[in-house]
Amino acid sequence: MDEALMQRIAKELNLAETALVVPATHPDCDVGVRIFTPTKETTFAGHPTIGTAFLLMEEGIVPGKKEYFVLEEKVGSVAIRVELSQNLLIRLRTPSIEYGRLYDRGLCADVLRLEPQDLIDVAPQLVSAGNPTVFIPVKHKRTVDRAFIDLHGLRTLKGADHEPMCVFIFTPTCDGAYSRMFALEYGIPEDPATGSSTGPLASFMMRHSLVSGAAGNRFVSEQGTKMGRRSMFISWVRMA
Protein backbone atom coordinates (compact mmCIF):
# COMPACT_ATOMS: atom_id res chain seq x y z
CA MET A 1 0.00 0.00 0.00
CA ASP A 2 1.59 3.25 -1.08
CA GLU A 3 1.36 6.63 0.65
CA ALA A 4 -1.19 8.01 -1.80
CA LEU A 5 -3.59 5.15 -1.10
CA MET A 6 -3.11 5.57 2.67
CA GLN A 7 -4.06 9.24 2.32
CA ARG A 8 -7.12 8.37 0.22
CA ILE A 9 -8.29 5.93 2.91
CA ALA A 10 -7.88 8.59 5.61
CA LYS A 11 -9.77 11.13 3.51
CA GLU A 12 -12.61 8.67 2.92
CA LEU A 13 -12.91 7.77 6.62
CA ASN A 14 -12.75 11.51 7.45
CA LEU A 15 -11.63 11.00 11.05
CA ALA A 16 -9.30 13.33 12.92
CA GLU A 17 -6.60 10.68 12.46
CA THR A 18 -6.38 7.29 10.77
CA ALA A 19 -3.57 4.93 11.81
CA LEU A 20 -2.23 2.26 9.47
CA VAL A 21 -0.05 -0.54 10.83
CA VAL A 22 3.06 -1.34 8.76
CA PRO A 23 6.26 -3.32 9.31
CA ALA A 24 8.88 -1.53 11.41
CA THR A 25 12.10 -0.61 9.63
CA HIS A 26 14.19 0.04 12.77
CA PRO A 27 15.44 -3.02 14.67
CA ASP A 28 14.59 -1.49 18.07
CA CYS A 29 10.90 -1.03 17.15
CA ASP A 30 8.23 -3.71 17.31
CA VAL A 31 5.67 -2.31 14.85
CA GLY A 32 5.43 0.64 12.46
CA VAL A 33 2.49 3.09 12.42
CA ARG A 34 1.62 5.69 9.78
CA ILE A 35 -0.88 8.37 10.90
CA PHE A 36 -2.95 10.50 8.52
CA THR A 37 -5.48 13.30 9.00
CA PRO A 38 -8.05 13.75 6.18
CA THR A 39 -5.56 15.93 4.27
CA LYS A 40 -1.99 15.20 5.48
CA GLU A 41 0.27 12.65 7.08
CA THR A 42 1.34 13.63 10.57
CA THR A 43 4.54 12.58 12.28
CA PHE A 44 2.95 11.81 15.65
CA ALA A 45 -0.46 11.84 17.36
CA GLY A 46 -1.43 10.71 20.84
CA HIS A 47 -4.85 9.10 20.43
CA PRO A 48 -4.01 6.87 17.44
CA THR A 49 -0.79 5.83 19.17
CA ILE A 50 -2.67 4.65 22.27
CA GLY A 51 -5.51 3.15 20.23
CA THR A 52 -3.14 1.30 17.92
CA ALA A 53 -1.18 -0.03 20.91
CA PHE A 54 -4.40 -1.42 22.36
CA LEU A 55 -5.40 -3.01 19.05
CA LEU A 56 -1.95 -4.58 18.59
CA MET A 57 -2.34 -6.27 21.97
CA GLU A 58 -5.93 -7.36 21.27
CA GLU A 59 -4.93 -8.87 17.91
CA GLY A 60 -1.83 -10.58 19.33
CA ILE A 61 0.55 -8.68 17.06
CA VAL A 62 2.42 -7.82 20.24
CA PRO A 63 2.05 -10.25 23.17
CA GLY A 64 -1.03 -9.49 25.26
CA LYS A 65 0.93 -9.56 28.51
CA LYS A 66 3.86 -7.48 27.27
CA GLU A 67 4.34 -4.43 29.50
CA TYR A 68 6.72 -2.48 27.24
CA PHE A 69 7.06 -2.16 23.49
CA VAL A 70 8.06 0.45 20.92
CA LEU A 71 6.16 1.83 17.93
CA GLU A 72 7.96 3.33 14.96
CA GLU A 73 6.29 6.54 13.79
CA LYS A 74 7.44 9.34 11.50
CA VAL A 75 8.64 11.25 14.56
CA GLY A 76 10.81 8.28 15.55
CA SER A 77 10.51 5.66 18.29
CA VAL A 78 7.52 6.01 20.65
CA ALA A 79 7.76 3.95 23.84
CA ILE A 80 4.56 2.32 25.14
CA ARG A 81 4.10 1.14 28.74
CA VAL A 82 1.21 -1.06 29.79
CA GLU A 83 -0.13 -1.59 33.29
CA LEU A 84 -1.87 -4.97 33.32
CA SER A 85 -4.10 -4.26 36.31
CA GLN A 86 -7.87 -4.76 36.55
CA ASN A 87 -8.33 -1.66 34.42
CA LEU A 88 -5.85 -1.71 31.55
CA LEU A 89 -3.74 1.48 31.43
CA ILE A 90 -1.64 2.31 28.36
CA ARG A 91 0.84 5.18 28.48
CA LEU A 92 3.10 6.69 25.84
CA ARG A 93 6.28 8.66 26.31
CA THR A 94 6.14 12.04 24.56
CA PRO A 95 8.78 12.35 21.84
CA SER A 96 11.54 14.90 22.31
CA ILE A 97 10.11 18.41 22.75
CA GLU A 98 11.69 21.18 20.68
CA TYR A 99 11.25 24.95 21.03
CA GLY A 100 11.10 27.22 17.98
CA ARG A 101 10.38 30.84 17.10
CA LEU A 102 8.62 33.37 19.30
CA TYR A 103 5.54 35.29 18.13
CA ASP A 104 4.35 38.83 18.72
CA ARG A 105 1.57 38.92 21.32
CA GLY A 106 -0.30 41.66 19.48
CA LEU A 107 -0.27 39.68 16.23
CA CYS A 108 -1.50 36.54 18.01
CA ALA A 109 -4.31 38.50 19.65
CA ASP A 110 -5.32 39.99 16.30
CA VAL A 111 -5.49 36.68 14.39
CA LEU A 112 -7.47 35.11 17.26
CA ARG A 113 -9.84 38.13 17.27
CA LEU A 114 -8.84 39.06 20.80
CA GLU A 115 -7.30 42.12 22.45
CA PRO A 116 -3.60 42.21 23.46
CA GLN A 117 -4.58 42.65 27.11
CA ASP A 118 -6.40 39.29 26.93
CA LEU A 119 -3.05 37.50 26.67
CA ILE A 120 -0.74 36.61 29.55
CA ASP A 121 2.57 38.49 29.47
CA VAL A 122 4.46 35.49 28.05
CA ALA A 123 5.57 35.39 24.43
CA PRO A 124 3.66 32.79 22.37
CA GLN A 125 6.05 30.20 20.98
CA LEU A 126 6.27 27.36 18.51
CA VAL A 127 6.76 24.10 20.42
CA SER A 128 6.79 20.63 18.90
CA ALA A 129 6.87 16.97 19.85
CA GLY A 130 6.39 16.08 16.20
CA ASN A 131 3.60 18.50 15.30
CA PRO A 132 4.69 22.17 15.29
CA THR A 133 2.19 24.10 17.43
CA VAL A 134 2.01 27.74 18.52
CA PHE A 135 1.12 27.92 22.22
CA ILE A 136 -0.70 31.12 23.21
CA PRO A 137 -1.48 31.68 26.92
CA VAL A 138 -4.45 33.89 27.86
CA LYS A 139 -5.87 35.08 31.16
CA HIS A 140 -9.37 33.58 31.37
CA LYS A 141 -11.45 30.59 30.27
CA ARG A 142 -13.97 32.91 28.64
CA THR A 143 -11.15 34.26 26.47
CA VAL A 144 -10.25 30.74 25.36
CA ASP A 145 -13.91 30.17 24.45
CA ARG A 146 -14.11 33.46 22.55
CA ALA A 147 -11.04 32.87 20.39
CA PHE A 148 -11.35 32.03 16.69
CA ILE A 149 -8.89 31.68 13.83
CA ASP A 150 -9.47 31.13 10.11
CA LEU A 151 -7.04 30.23 7.31
CA HIS A 152 -6.32 33.88 6.54
CA GLY A 153 -5.42 34.51 10.18
CA LEU A 154 -3.26 31.39 10.28
CA ARG A 155 -1.35 32.43 7.16
CA THR A 156 -0.85 35.90 8.64
CA LEU A 157 0.58 34.31 11.78
CA LYS A 158 2.85 31.95 9.83
CA GLY A 159 4.33 34.60 7.60
CA ALA A 160 7.01 33.00 5.41
CA ASP A 161 6.92 29.64 7.22
CA HIS A 162 5.89 26.79 4.93
CA GLU A 163 5.61 23.89 7.36
CA PRO A 164 2.03 23.15 8.55
CA MET A 165 1.37 24.16 12.12
CA CYS A 166 -1.40 24.15 14.71
CA VAL A 167 -2.57 26.89 17.09
CA PHE A 168 -3.14 26.03 20.75
CA ILE A 169 -4.75 28.61 23.04
CA PHE A 170 -5.01 27.96 26.77
CA THR A 171 -5.35 29.45 30.23
CA PRO A 172 -3.78 28.04 33.42
CA THR A 173 -6.09 26.35 35.94
CA CYS A 174 -5.56 25.12 39.49
CA ASP A 175 -4.44 21.67 38.27
CA GLY A 176 -3.26 22.31 34.72
CA ALA A 177 -4.90 24.09 31.79
CA TYR A 178 -8.17 24.80 29.93
CA SER A 179 -7.57 24.84 26.19
CA ARG A 180 -8.59 24.69 22.53
CA MET A 181 -6.62 23.60 19.47
CA PHE A 182 -7.04 24.60 15.81
CA ALA A 183 -5.45 22.49 13.03
CA LEU A 184 -6.81 24.08 9.87
CA GLU A 185 -3.96 22.95 7.63
CA TYR A 186 -4.60 19.34 8.61
CA GLY A 187 -8.28 19.55 7.65
CA ILE A 188 -9.39 19.88 11.30
CA PRO A 189 -11.00 23.28 12.07
CA GLU A 190 -10.93 22.47 15.81
CA ASP A 191 -9.67 19.35 17.56
CA PRO A 192 -11.49 18.26 20.74
CA ALA A 193 -8.55 16.25 22.05
CA THR A 194 -4.89 16.60 21.07
CA GLY A 195 -2.61 14.07 22.75
CA SER A 196 0.49 15.23 20.87
CA SER A 197 0.09 18.74 22.35
CA THR A 198 -0.23 17.70 25.98
CA GLY A 199 3.46 17.08 26.66
CA PRO A 200 4.60 20.31 24.95
CA LEU A 201 1.84 22.22 26.81
CA ALA A 202 3.04 20.97 30.20
CA SER A 203 6.65 21.73 29.24
CA PHE A 204 5.80 25.27 28.04
CA MET A 205 3.79 26.02 31.20
CA MET A 206 6.53 24.73 33.49
CA ARG A 207 9.16 26.75 31.61
CA HIS A 208 7.16 29.94 32.23
CA SER A 209 6.01 29.14 35.79
CA LEU A 210 2.36 28.87 34.73
CA VAL A 211 1.70 25.59 36.58
CA SER A 212 0.92 27.20 39.92
CA GLY A 213 -1.54 24.72 41.39
CA ALA A 214 -0.72 21.36 39.82
CA ALA A 215 -0.27 18.65 42.43
CA GLY A 216 3.24 17.22 42.30
CA ASN A 217 4.13 16.01 38.81
CA ARG A 218 0.54 15.34 37.67
CA PHE A 219 -0.79 17.78 35.06
CA VAL A 220 -4.41 17.84 33.82
CA SER A 221 -5.49 19.52 30.57
CA GLU A 222 -9.16 20.10 29.69
CA GLN A 223 -9.91 20.51 25.98
CA GLY A 224 -12.92 20.42 23.66
CA THR A 225 -15.41 21.83 26.18
CA LYS A 226 -16.41 24.82 24.03
CA MET A 227 -17.33 22.53 21.11
CA GLY A 228 -19.33 20.18 23.33
CA ARG A 229 -16.75 17.35 23.25
CA ARG A 230 -15.00 17.70 26.60
CA SER A 231 -11.82 15.67 27.05
CA MET A 232 -9.36 15.37 29.92
CA PHE A 233 -5.65 14.60 29.53
CA ILE A 234 -3.31 13.60 32.32
CA SER A 235 0.45 14.05 31.93
CA TRP A 236 3.02 12.75 34.35
CA VAL A 237 6.05 15.03 34.26
CA ARG A 238 9.48 13.74 35.18
CA MET A 239 12.11 16.41 35.74
CA ALA A 240 15.47 15.71 34.10
Instruction: Check: CB of residue 181 under 8 Å from CB of residue 164.
Output: no
Q: Which fold has domain 3-92?
A: Diaminopimelate Epimerase; Chain A, domain 1 (3.10.310)
What is the rounded distance in angstroms from the CA atom of residue 67 to the CA atom of residue 30?
Answer: 13
Judge whether 211 and 176 are in contact, CB under 8 Å: yes
- Structure pTM? 0.88
The strand pairing partners of 26, in sequence order, are none
Cβ contacts of residue 108 below 8 Å, gap of 6+?
A: 119, 124, 134, 136, 157
Instruction: With beta carbons less than 8 A apart as the criterion, state whether 155 and 187 touch.
Output: no
Q: Letter for the amino acid at 126?
A: L
Say what the pLDDT of residue 72 is: 97
Q: Which fold has domain 98-236?
A: Diaminopimelate Epimerase; Chain A, domain 1 (3.10.310)
C-alpha dihedral sign at 128, 129, 133, 137: negative
Q: Residue 238: what pLDDT?
A: 65
Give the amino acid at 211.
V
Cβ count within 10 A of residue 58: 10
Tens-level pLDDT at each residue, the chain (240 residues): 899 999 999 999 999 899 999 999 999 999 999 999 999 999 999 999 999 999 999 999 998 778 999 999 999 999 999 988 778 889 999 999 999 999 999 999 999 999 999 999 999 999 999 899 999 999 999 999 999 999 999 999 998 888 889 999 999 998 899 999 999 999 899 999 998 998 899 999 999 999 865 555 778 899 999 999 999 988 777 655
Q: What pLDDT, on a 0 to 100 scale, did the predictor assign at position 84?
A: 81
Q: Where are the domains of the chain?
A: 3-92, 98-236
Taking the C-alpha atoms of residue 122 and residue 189, their distance in angstroms, rounded to an integer, is 25
CB atoms within 10 A of CB 13: 12
What does each C-alpha distance from 149 to 142, 170, 183, 193 come to in angstroms?
16, 14, 10, 17
182 has which bridge partners?
Answer: 167
